[in-house]
Amino acid sequence: MQEETVLKTFAKLADTLVAGFDVVDLLQTLVETCQDLLGVSDAGILLLGTHDELELVASTSESNQLVEAIQLGAQAGPAVESFTSGRLVSVPRLGEAPDRWSRFRDRAVALGYRSVHAIPMRLRETTIGSLSLLTRDEGELDETELIAAQALADVATIGILHERTLRESSVLVQQLQNALNSRVVIEQAKGVVSFTRGVSVDAAFDVIRSYARSHRLGLGEVAQQLVDGRLRIEPDEA
């Protein structure tokens, strides 16, 4: 591998780690880079889905046969073992893979693959998937190639977790903003009840809260109805 090519590859991947980047595009870039840079025949990325199963999200080919082979590896094969253990799993002679992987082994061999290497996509204690590298020649990847492959997987993992953190932060910010917006409406509703009932603002808030609780409604919902004029709390309802 040429150092210049490696540096350009990392620069390309790092360039995707910006706000609003496309995760699928990042992963597609990763598998294509592995194919070009490491000289493997094909590559695929499996991520943990919502049903706690590994699902294929990117591959160097959309061939149904390749997709099927990689997905079989997610059920019982190097990919799922790498994901579960958080370690590299190499099978330099695929024909000698253990019987527990027979479905994956037989399908991959039938497609002409002779070795497979599964690399965990992991950051500290969080493992989100695995990168599968398939070759048509027997043998191990050399140490430099394995280091590069793990580094590429790490960049993608950081990108995905970064995007997830941003998304969760965005949800939190929105929740906080909704709370603030509700508070503004509640303040307005307190003024409405205070005026119509001739009570203090504190007493008005107690009236609103009591009504909300007794009718199993949210404070913000009751407040909005009061402000819109869709609700009037009678003395015997508070």
Architecture of domain 3-163: 2-Layer Sandwich (3.30)
Which carries the bigger pLDDT value, residue 123 or residue 170?
A: 123
pLDDT > 70: percent of the chain: 84
Query: How many Å separate Cα 185 from the centre of its chain?
Result: 35
Numbered ranges of CATH 3.30.450.40 in the chain: 3-163
CATH class (in words) of the domain with range 179-237: mainly alpha
Neighbours of 38 (CB within 10 A): 20
The span from the CA of 101 to the CA of 73, in Å, is 8
Residue 13: per-residue pLDDT: 64
Partners of 123 in the β-ladder: 126
CB 133 within 8 A of CB 40: yes
What's the average model confidence in pLDDT over 27-36? 84
Strand ranges in 30-125 using DSSP code E only, listed in sequence order:
42-48, 54-59, 89-91, 115-123
Residue 81: per-residue pLDDT: 93
